[in-house]
Structure 1
Amino acid sequence: MATLVLAEDAPHMLRLLEMTLRKKGHQWTAVGTGDAALSEIRARKPDAAILDVIMPGMDGLEVLQALKADPETAEIPVIILTARGHTFTREQAEQSGAAAFLTKPFSPTELLAVVDRHTTAAQP
C-alpha cells in the first residue's frame, strides 16, 4: 500500500483515480490545484504523486520542476497524467524528471502497474 498525493481538478477524473487506487488499498490526499499539490507533497512526503498537467495555479510540469529542484522532494516519484499526449509535453515531463507519463484516457490496470512499479522501493 502506497501513500499518494493526487492533483486533479476534474471531479470525474478524480473519482476514477480514487476508485482505481482503492482497489489496491492505496491511501491518498486529493487536491485540485498545482499550488496545493506542491504544498501537500512537501508536507506529507508521499511515496509518489500523480499530477495532471493542466490545473489552476501552477501546472503539473511546474510542480514537477519545483519538486525535483528541492532536495527534500527530489526523490519522490511523479507520475504525469494529461489529456495532452503531445510529444512536446511528454519530452518536457521526461526532461524534468517524471517517473512516468500517462495519457488520458488511461487504463486503470496501467495506472496501478505504474504506481506499483514506482512505489515498490518505498514499501517496507
Structure 2
Amino acid sequence: MGKRVLLIEDEPNIVEAVRYLLTREGWAVDTHSNGATALDAVARRRPDVIVLDAMLPGRSGFDILRDLRTAPDTSAIPVLMLTARGQRRDREMAEAAGASRFMTKPFSNSDIVDCLRELGGHDAA
C-alpha cells in the first residue's frame, strides 16, 4: 500500500506533473492550493509527507511550516519545501522553520521522486 502525500502548491502545471509522477510511484496524492486553509487540509488528510510551496495565496509556506512544527500532531511529518527562488536566504528560512528538505523549481522528476522516497520511507515501485 502506498503512502499519502499532500501537495500544497498553487501552480496547476506543477500540481499535475507531481501528481502524475507520484501516483505512478504508488503514492496517494492529495492537493491543496490555498495557504490560508492549508493547516485545515493537513488535519483532514493526515499525510505521511507534505510537499509545501514557499509562496502561496493567503499565507506563506514558511508560516505554515512553522505552525506545523509547533503542533504536536504535525511536528514530525516530513516536509519538502519548494521555492521558485533559489536564494540562500530562502533555504535558510526553510531550514529555520523546520523543513526536512528544500528543493528549487524547476526540479527534475527523479529528484522529487527520490526525495519523497527518502522522506516517506517509501520503497521503489
TM-score under structure 2 length normalisation: 0.92
CA distance in 1, matches of 2:108, 2:39: 26
How far did residue 35 of structure 1 move? 2.4
Which structure 1 residue ranges, 4+ long, deviate > 2 Å from structure 2?
A: none
1:31 match: 32
How far did residue 44 of structure 1 move? 2.2
CA distance in 2, matches of 1:39, 1:112: 25
- The reply on whether 1:41 has 2:42 as its aligned counterpart is yes
Cα pair 2:23 2:29 within 8 Å, conserved: no
Cα pair 1:6 1:37 within 8 Å, conserved: no
CA distance in 2, matches of 1:111, 1:71: 27
For residues 7-43 of structure 1, the C-alpha deviation after alignment (integer angstroms, 9 at most, x for no partner) is 1111111111111112201112111111232111122
Q: Which runs of 5+ in 1 are unaligned?
A: none
Q: Following superposition of structure 1 onto structure 2, how do residues 76-95 of structure 1 map, counting pairs within 5 Å?
A: 76-95=77-96
2:57 match: 56
RMSD of Structure 2 on Structure 1 (CA): 1.2
CA distance in 1, matches of 2:120, 2:21: 16
2:7 match: 6
Report the count of equivalent residues. 121
CA distance in 2, matches of 1:35, 1:113: 29
State the secondary structure of the residue aligned to 1:76: coil
2:121 match: 120
TM-score under structure 1 length normalisation: 0.92
